[in-house]
Amino acid sequence: FALTFYPIQIPDYRNAVIVAKSPDAAKRAQSYAERLRLGLAVIHGEAQCTEQDMDDGRHSPPMVKNATVHPGLELPLMMAKEKPPITVVGDVGGRIAIIVDDIIDDVESFVAAAEILKERGAYKIFVMATHGLLSADAPRLIEESSIDEVVVTNTVPHEVQKLQCPKIKTVDISLILSEAIRRIHNGESMAYLFRNITVDD
Protein backbone atom coordinates (compact mmCIF):
# COMPACT_ATOMS: atom_id res chain seq x y z
CA PHE A 1 0.00 0.00 0.00
CA ALA A 2 1.11 3.54 -0.64
CA LEU A 3 -0.34 6.91 0.36
CA THR A 4 -0.15 9.26 -2.61
CA PHE A 5 -0.30 13.06 -2.52
CA TYR A 6 0.58 13.62 -6.18
CA PRO A 7 3.52 13.65 -6.91
CA ILE A 8 4.40 12.43 -3.39
CA GLN A 9 4.21 8.77 -2.46
CA ILE A 10 4.71 7.22 0.97
CA PRO A 11 5.29 3.49 0.53
CA ASP A 12 3.84 1.25 3.23
CA TYR A 13 1.94 4.18 4.74
CA ARG A 14 -0.07 1.76 6.91
CA ASN A 15 3.06 1.61 9.05
CA ALA A 16 2.95 5.39 9.55
CA VAL A 17 1.91 7.45 12.54
CA ILE A 18 0.63 11.03 12.40
CA VAL A 19 2.63 13.31 14.72
CA ALA A 20 1.67 16.59 16.39
CA LYS A 21 4.88 18.47 17.23
CA SER A 22 3.14 20.12 20.18
CA PRO A 23 -0.05 19.58 22.20
CA ASP A 24 -1.53 22.64 20.44
CA ALA A 25 -1.36 20.79 17.11
CA ALA A 26 -2.93 17.59 18.46
CA LYS A 27 -6.49 18.31 17.30
CA ARG A 28 -5.41 18.79 13.67
CA ALA A 29 -3.16 15.73 13.81
CA GLN A 30 -5.99 13.63 15.29
CA SER A 31 -8.25 14.66 12.41
CA TYR A 32 -5.67 13.41 9.86
CA ALA A 33 -5.03 10.23 11.85
CA GLU A 34 -8.75 9.39 11.96
CA ARG A 35 -9.26 10.08 8.25
CA LEU A 36 -6.27 7.94 7.27
CA ARG A 37 -6.93 5.32 9.98
CA LEU A 38 -3.43 5.73 11.39
CA GLY A 39 -1.99 6.03 14.88
CA LEU A 40 -1.33 9.35 16.60
CA ALA A 41 1.70 10.61 18.53
CA VAL A 42 2.11 13.93 20.33
CA ILE A 43 5.38 15.57 21.37
CA HIS A 44 5.29 17.25 24.80
CA GLY A 45 7.85 19.43 26.53
CA GLU A 46 10.78 21.50 25.33
CA ALA A 47 14.43 20.86 24.66
CA GLN A 48 16.31 23.88 25.92
CA CYS A 49 16.21 27.33 27.40
CA THR A 50 15.81 30.26 25.00
CA GLU A 51 15.73 34.03 25.50
CA GLN A 52 12.01 33.94 24.83
CA ASP A 53 11.55 31.64 27.84
CA MET A 54 13.15 34.30 30.02
CA ASP A 55 10.58 36.81 28.76
CA ASP A 56 7.53 34.61 29.22
CA GLY A 57 7.96 34.19 32.97
CA ARG A 58 9.08 30.57 33.14
CA HIS A 59 12.05 31.58 35.26
CA SER A 60 10.01 33.69 37.65
CA PRO A 61 10.11 34.09 40.52
CA PRO A 62 13.87 34.62 40.41
CA MET A 63 16.05 32.44 42.60
CA VAL A 64 16.68 34.29 45.85
CA LYS A 65 17.93 33.37 49.28
CA ASN A 66 15.66 33.57 52.27
CA ALA A 67 14.97 37.26 52.66
CA THR A 68 13.60 39.26 55.53
CA VAL A 69 11.07 41.84 54.40
CA HIS A 70 9.70 42.62 57.82
CA PRO A 71 11.17 41.82 61.21
CA GLY A 72 9.98 38.35 62.19
CA LEU A 73 8.70 37.55 58.66
CA GLU A 74 11.00 35.40 56.52
CA LEU A 75 10.27 34.43 52.91
CA PRO A 76 11.05 30.86 51.81
CA LEU A 77 13.58 30.11 49.10
CA MET A 78 11.84 30.36 45.74
CA MET A 79 12.95 28.22 42.81
CA ALA A 80 12.59 28.97 39.10
CA LYS A 81 9.93 27.07 37.18
CA GLU A 82 11.34 24.13 35.23
CA LYS A 83 10.35 23.06 31.75
CA PRO A 84 8.88 19.59 31.38
CA PRO A 85 11.25 17.10 29.74
CA ILE A 86 10.49 16.14 26.16
CA THR A 87 8.27 13.09 25.85
CA VAL A 88 6.57 11.44 22.91
CA VAL A 89 3.10 10.17 23.70
CA GLY A 90 2.43 7.38 21.23
CA ASP A 91 4.52 4.66 19.63
CA VAL A 92 6.85 5.77 16.81
CA GLY A 93 9.43 2.97 17.06
CA GLY A 94 9.93 1.25 13.69
CA ARG A 95 7.32 3.51 12.10
CA ILE A 96 7.14 6.25 9.48
CA ALA A 97 6.47 9.56 11.26
CA ILE A 98 4.36 12.17 9.47
CA ILE A 99 4.45 15.56 11.19
CA VAL A 100 1.45 17.68 10.13
CA ASP A 101 0.92 21.42 10.46
CA ASP A 102 -0.78 24.28 8.66
CA ILE A 103 2.32 26.44 8.06
CA ILE A 104 6.03 25.71 7.90
CA ASP A 105 8.19 28.81 8.04
CA ASP A 106 10.77 28.81 10.83
CA VAL A 107 11.76 25.14 10.67
CA GLU A 108 13.73 24.80 13.92
CA SER A 109 10.80 23.25 15.81
CA PHE A 110 10.27 20.74 12.96
CA VAL A 111 13.97 19.85 12.90
CA ALA A 112 13.95 19.38 16.70
CA ALA A 113 10.82 17.20 16.48
CA ALA A 114 12.45 15.08 13.75
CA GLU A 115 15.54 14.52 15.94
CA ILE A 116 13.36 13.37 18.83
CA LEU A 117 11.34 11.04 16.59
CA LYS A 118 14.55 9.57 15.17
CA GLU A 119 15.85 8.98 18.72
CA ARG A 120 12.56 7.23 19.56
CA GLY A 121 12.96 4.84 16.62
CA ALA A 122 11.08 6.39 13.67
CA TYR A 123 12.88 5.25 10.52
CA LYS A 124 11.48 7.81 8.08
CA ILE A 125 10.21 11.33 8.81
CA PHE A 126 7.92 13.42 6.61
CA VAL A 127 6.67 16.94 7.32
CA MET A 128 3.40 17.89 5.63
CA ALA A 129 2.10 21.45 5.79
CA THR A 130 -0.41 23.41 3.79
CA HIS A 131 1.59 26.62 3.39
CA GLY A 132 5.35 26.45 2.82
CA LEU A 133 6.80 29.87 3.63
CA LEU A 134 10.26 28.39 4.31
CA SER A 135 11.98 31.72 4.94
CA ALA A 136 15.58 32.58 5.85
CA ASP A 137 17.85 29.51 6.13
CA ALA A 138 14.97 27.00 6.28
CA PRO A 139 16.13 25.06 3.16
CA ARG A 140 19.64 24.53 4.60
CA LEU A 141 18.28 23.45 8.00
CA ILE A 142 15.92 20.96 6.36
CA GLU A 143 18.67 19.59 4.13
CA GLU A 144 20.96 19.01 7.13
CA SER A 145 18.21 17.49 9.33
CA SER A 146 16.74 14.03 9.93
CA ILE A 147 13.68 15.04 7.89
CA ASP A 148 13.35 12.89 4.75
CA GLU A 149 10.80 15.06 2.91
CA VAL A 150 8.87 18.29 3.44
CA VAL A 151 5.61 18.31 1.49
CA VAL A 152 3.78 21.62 0.99
CA THR A 153 1.13 22.95 -1.38
CA ASN A 154 1.66 25.67 -3.97
CA THR A 155 -0.32 28.34 -2.09
CA VAL A 156 2.97 30.21 -1.57
CA PRO A 157 5.75 30.36 -4.21
CA HIS A 158 8.85 28.45 -3.03
CA GLU A 159 10.74 27.52 -6.20
CA VAL A 160 13.98 29.10 -4.95
CA GLN A 161 13.80 27.08 -1.73
CA LYS A 162 13.27 23.87 -3.75
CA LEU A 163 16.43 24.59 -5.73
CA GLN A 164 18.32 24.90 -2.43
CA CYS A 165 16.79 21.77 -0.89
CA PRO A 166 15.68 18.72 -2.92
CA LYS A 167 13.81 17.39 0.14
CA ILE A 168 11.07 20.01 -0.45
CA LYS A 169 8.20 18.64 -2.58
CA THR A 170 5.11 20.46 -3.85
CA VAL A 171 1.50 19.35 -4.25
CA ASP A 172 -0.47 21.39 -6.79
CA ILE A 173 -3.87 22.37 -5.39
CA SER A 174 -4.87 24.81 -8.14
CA LEU A 175 -7.67 22.54 -9.43
CA ILE A 176 -9.32 22.12 -6.04
CA LEU A 177 -9.04 25.88 -5.36
CA SER A 178 -10.58 26.75 -8.73
CA GLU A 179 -13.40 24.27 -8.10
CA ALA A 180 -13.97 25.78 -4.64
CA ILE A 181 -14.17 29.29 -6.16
CA ARG A 182 -16.59 28.04 -8.86
CA ARG A 183 -18.80 26.38 -6.23
CA ILE A 184 -18.86 29.47 -4.02
CA HIS A 185 -19.71 31.67 -7.04
CA ASN A 186 -22.57 29.35 -8.06
CA GLY A 187 -23.82 28.80 -4.49
CA GLU A 188 -23.05 25.08 -4.66
CA SER A 189 -22.08 22.82 -1.75
CA MET A 190 -18.48 23.01 -0.55
CA ALA A 191 -18.94 19.84 1.51
CA TYR A 192 -19.00 17.85 -1.75
CA LEU A 193 -15.30 18.62 -2.29
CA PHE A 194 -14.34 17.02 1.01
CA ARG A 195 -16.76 14.09 0.95
CA ASN A 196 -15.51 12.94 -2.44
CA ILE A 197 -11.75 13.05 -1.87
CA THR A 198 -10.45 9.52 -1.44
CA VAL A 199 -7.40 8.43 0.59
CA ASP A 200 -5.55 7.99 -2.73
CA ASP A 201 -6.10 11.67 -3.55
DSSP E strand boundaries for 12-82: 16-20, 39-44, 67-70, 73-75
d(C-alpha 172, C-alpha 149), whole Å: 16
| List of E strands, 12-119 | 16-20, 39-44, 67-70, 73-75, 87-89, 96-104
Residue 8 has pLDDT above 70, yes or no: no
Q: What is the pLDDT of residues 50-96, one digit of tens each?
A: 445 455 555 555 554 555 555 666 656 656 666 677 889 999 999 99
Higher pLDDT, 11 or 100: 100
User: Residue 76's pLDDT is what?
Assistant: 61
Report for 10-19, 47-56, 136-145, 188-197: range of highest mean pLDDT:
136-145
| Beta pairing partners, 20 | 42
What domains can you pick out in the chain, each with its CATH number? 5-46+85-172 (3.40.50.2020)
Mean pLDDT over 15-24 rounds to: 94
